Structure 1
Amino acid sequence: MRADVVIVGGGPAGLLLSQLLHLKGVETIVLERKSRDYVLGRIRAGVLEQGMVDLLRKAQVSARMDREGLVHAGFDVAYGGKLHHIDLEGLTGGKSVMVYGQTEVTQDLYDARDAMGGKVVHEAENVALHELTGDKPYVTYEKDGETHRIDCDFVAGCDGFHGVSRKSIPVDVLKEYELVYPFGWMGLLADVPPISDELIYANHERGFALCSMRSMTRSRYYVQCTLAEHVEEWPDDRFWEELAKRLPEQVLPNLTTGPSIEKSIAPLRSFIAEPMRYGRLFLAGDAAHIVPPTGAKGLNLAASDIYYLSHALIDFYKKNDEAGLEAYSERALSRVWKAERFSWTMTKLLHTFPEDGEFGAKMQRAELDYLFSSRAAMTSLAESYVGLPY
């Protein structure tokens, strides 16, 4: 087989890249290790920056998002028994975010690729990348007991943290930076109306909590937990009781509980791999970086990678211009590090860190007190929350 670009990974990053390139006449083949049902069954974040919303519209996959997505002009921080409002629109000159689940984004992208006859190979096993530093790279994979080969010009590694793409870069070339946090998030999804029209991030002595939503009838809640805990130790009743203890009394009358439809514990880490290019291979999304979910930057960072990479590839094929490809890693990493800084800052600001002792707790309270007393501090936070410009 032959394609201009082989995309390894059939999640939202890989599908979005395939869609954007297809619209400009660049041929792609997407290889995904799992089944489509498995990919669509993954529960992930759902707060989209303005830049990603605009990119989905450019990719012609925004119709359902524009109908069903929830535009949020602000969010609340629960601290000291009170709600403190962050007015995103007022602080950023009219910018906002869109609440629309990653699963829905992925479904919309699959529907678009199907409608356009996009080539997506599921359950592609033992994917291997070859001759990445030459001018004729190729990719092999196994499917139904047979080995297949795809010749290409470029490979886009969109296959996540555990995928083969980053591992194909020699260890003497790749440099990795990582911070593992000493806690996780216990998450619960339930078909109940959200507690508030806005997202609520809670700082509490018992630990962090987040009240989020997928729609006006489906809610997603999180509480900080230890890494030693297991989902089985968190029956629904325990979760709801713990969540209520970490929220201000003024919002508790609005808390509707119900049976969970999904529960999971997610560890938190910050991770960046440099460079994001090796020869004809370009990394994007979780293959190159992981952020803690505080601030909802994971999917949005993948989208900004795809913005830079799609423009670079289109310029190469339509203008014979390689400048975008040469600059891809540097441009992407500049935005990645700023988003990592924001996610790290939000995580330090809102979670309990017992190992930091009383001094750390006092510093955290001082930081929160300053935040809510300073328009400049709130503006800085709001600018990063809605997303820095591409």
Structure 2
Amino acid sequence: MRTQVAIIGGGPSGLMLSQLLHLKGIDNIVLERQSREYVLGRIRAGVLEHGFAKLMREAQCGERMDREGEIHDGFYISDNGNMRRVDLHKHSGGSSVVVYGQTELTRDLYEARDKMNGVVIHNAEDVQPHDLKSDQPYVTYRKGDEVVRIDCDYVIGADGFHGVSRKSIPRDVLKEYEKVYPFGWLGVLSRTKPVSPELIYAKHERGFALCSLRSQVLSRYYIQVPLTDTVEDWSDDKFWDELKRRLPADVAERLVTGPSIEKSIAPLRSFVAEPMRYGNLFLAGDAAHIVPPTGARGLNSAASDIYYLYHALVAHYKEGDDTGLDNYSAKALARVWKAQRFSWWMTTMLHTFPDSLPYDQKLSQTELEYLFSSERAQGSLAENYVGLPF
């Protein structure tokens, strides 16, 4: 088999790049280790910065997002019961975010690939890139007892943190930076009316909480929990009781509870791998970087990678210009580290850290007070939240 671009990973990053390249006449194949049903069963965040939404429209996949997505011009931060609003629209110069579930976004991308007869191969086992430093790289995968080879010009590793792509870069070339936080987020999805039309980030002495939503009838809530906790430790009733404790009294009073549709615990981690290019392999998304979900940068950081790769590949194939490919790693990492900084800042300001010094607790509280005392500080938050320029 032969293609121009082999994409490892059939999540939103890989699918979006595949769709964008197809629209420009660039042949590509997507390899995904899991089934489509498994990919669509993963529950992920859904706050899309304005640049991501624009990219979805360019990929001709934004119709349902524009119809069903929630446009948010701000969000709330609650500090031990005192709730204040961050006006994104005002402080970012008129921008906003779109709240649209990642599952639905991925479904839209799959449907677009199907309509264009895009090649997405699921249940591809033992995927392995080869000869990445040569001019003739290729990828192999196993389908049953058969080993299939795909020759290509470039390999895109969009296969997540645990994928094979990053592991294909020699250890003496790859440098990794990591910070593991001493807590996780217990998340519950419920078919209930959201407690607020905009997100509520709650700082509380018992731990952080977040009130989010997927639609007007589907809510997503989170609470900070120790890493030693398991889902089995948390019944629905116990979850709702703890969430109410961390919210302002008037919010807790109007909270509509119900059976959980999905419940999971996600540990929080910051991670960056450098470089994001090795020969003719290019990393994108979680394969190269992870952020805590506090700043809503994970999927959006992946989108900026895809934006840079898409334009670089189009310039290569249509104009013979390799500048974008040559500069991809440096350009992508510059934006990645800004997303890391913002996510780290939001996380440290809003969470309760076990065994933290009283000094650190005072600084965290002072950071929050300063935020709401300064228009420029709110402008910096808004600028990062709605999305820095690509």
TM-score (norm 2): 0.99
Q: Which amino acid in the other structure matches residue 23 of structure 1? A: L
Aligned partner of 1:60 in structure 2 is 60
Aligned partner of 2:293 in structure 1 is 293
Query: Counterparts of 1:301 and 1:266 in 2: how far apart (Å)?
Result: 18
Consecutive unaligned residues in structure 2, runs of 5 or more: none
Deviation at 1:356, TM superposition (A): 1.6
Deviation at 1:82, TM superposition (A): 1.3
Whether 2:133 is the aligned partner of 1:133: answer yes
Superposed CA deviations along residues 368-388 of structure 1, whole A, max 9, x for unmatched, are 111111111111111101010
Aligned partner of 2:10 in structure 1 is 10
Aligned partner of 1:180 in structure 2 is 180
Deviation at 1:365, TM superposition (A): 1.0
Superposed CA deviations along residues 259-287 of structure 1, whole A, max 9, x for unmatched, are 00000000000000000000000000000
* SS across alignment from 1:229: coil
* SS across alignment from 2:26: coil
Query: Counterparts of 1:320 and 1:197 in 2: how far apart (Å)?
Result: 48
Q: Which amino acid in the other structure matches residue 291 of structure 2? A: V
Query: Counterparts of 1:279 and 1:367 in 2: how far apart (Å)?
Result: 43
Quick check: 308-317 or 250-259, which moved more? 250-259
> CA contact under 8 A between 2:80 and 2:202: conserved in structure 1?
no
Aligned partner of 1:191 in structure 2 is 191
Aligned partner of 1:280 in structure 2 is 280
Q: Which amino acid in the other structure matches residue 102 of structure 1? A: Q
> CA contact under 8 A between 1:128 and 1:141: conserved in structure 2?
yes
> CA contact under 8 A between 2:69 and 2:100: conserved in structure 1?
yes
Q: Which amino acid in the other structure matches residue 275 of structure 1? A: P
Query: Counterparts of 1:215 and 1:148 in 2: how far apart (Å)?
Result: 42
* SS across alignment from 2:337: helix
Query: Counterparts of 1:145 and 1:291 in 2: how far apart (Å)?
Result: 38
Deviation at 1:253, TM superposition (A): 2.6
Query: Counterparts of 2:315 and 2:357 in 1: how far apart (Å)?
Result: 53
Aligned partner of 1:381 in structure 2 is 381
Deviation at 1:185, TM superposition (A): 0.2
Deviation at 1:355, TM superposition (A): 2.0
Deviation at 1:357, TM superposition (A): 2.1
Summarize the alignment of residues 29-48 of structure 1 with structure 2, pairs less than 5 Å apart. 29-48=29-48
Aligned partner of 1:205 in structure 2 is 205
Quick check: 239-248 or 360-369, which moved more? 360-369
Summarize the alignment of residues 98-117 of structure 1 with structure 2, pairs less than 5 Å apart. 98-117=98-117
> CA contact under 8 A between 1:175 and 1:275: conserved in structure 2?
yes
> CA contact under 8 A between 2:80 and 2:246: conserved in structure 1?
no
Aligned partner of 1:152 in structure 2 is 152
Quick check: 7-16 or 375-384, which moved more? 375-384
Summarize the alignment of residues 229-378 of structure 1 with structure 2, pairs less than 5 Å apart. 229-378=229-378
Query: Counterparts of 1:235 and 1:282 in 2: how far apart (Å)?
Result: 43
Alignment RMSD:
0.6
Deviation at 1:81, TM superposition (A): 1.5
* SS across alignment from 1:271: strand
Query: Counterparts of 2:226 and 2:22 in 1: how far apart (Å)?
Result: 44
* SS across alignment from 1:95: coil
Deviation at 1:56, TM superposition (A): 0.2
* SS across alignment from 1:134: coil
Deviation at 1:195, TM superposition (A): 0.4
Query: Counterparts of 2:344 and 2:58 in 1: how far apart (Å)?
Result: 30
> CA contact under 8 A between 2:140 and 2:147: conserved in structure 1?
yes
Deviation at 1:165, TM superposition (A): 0.2
Deviation at 1:80, TM superposition (A): 3.5
Query: Counterparts of 1:200 and 1:238 in 2: how far apart (Å)?
Result: 20
The alignment-based identity, stated in percent, is 66
Superposed CA deviations along residues 340-372 of structure 1, whole A, max 9, x for unmatched, are 000000000000012222111111111111111
Aligned partner of 1:163 in structure 2 is 163
Query: Counterparts of 2:246 and 2:213 in 1: how far apart (Å)?
Result: 18
Query: Counterparts of 1:2 and 1:329 in 2: how far apart (Å)?
Result: 26
* SS across alignment from 2:193: coil
Quick check: 361-370 or 335-344, which moved more? 361-370
Aligned partner of 1:22 in structure 2 is 22
Superposed CA deviations along residues 95-128 of structure 1, whole A, max 9, x for unmatched, are 0000000001100000000000000000000011
* SS across alignment from 2:269: strand
Superposed CA deviations along residues 17-73 of structure 1, whole A, max 9, x for unmatched, are 000000000000000000000000000000000000000000000010010000000
* SS across alignment from 1:294: helix
Whether 2:103 is the aligned partner of 1:79: answer no
Deviation at 1:147, TM superposition (A): 0.5
Quick check: 121-130 or 250-259, which moved more? 250-259
* SS across alignment from 1:51: helix
> CA contact under 8 A between 1:196 and 1:254: conserved in structure 2?
no
Superposed CA deviations along residues 145-176 of structure 1, whole A, max 9, x for unmatched, are 21000000000000000000000000000000
Deviation at 1:137, TM superposition (A): 0.3
* SS across alignment from 2:348: helix
Q: Which amino acid in the other structure matches residue 130 of structure 1? A: H
Aligned partner of 2:50 in structure 1 is 50
Q: Which amino acid in the other structure matches residue 223 of structure 1? A: I
Consecutive unaligned residues in structure 1, runs of 5 or more: none
Query: Counterparts of 2:201 and 2:235 in 1: how far apart (Å)?
Result: 22
Q: Which amino acid in the other structure matches residue 332 of structure 2? A: A
Deviation at 1:254, TM superposition (A): 2.1
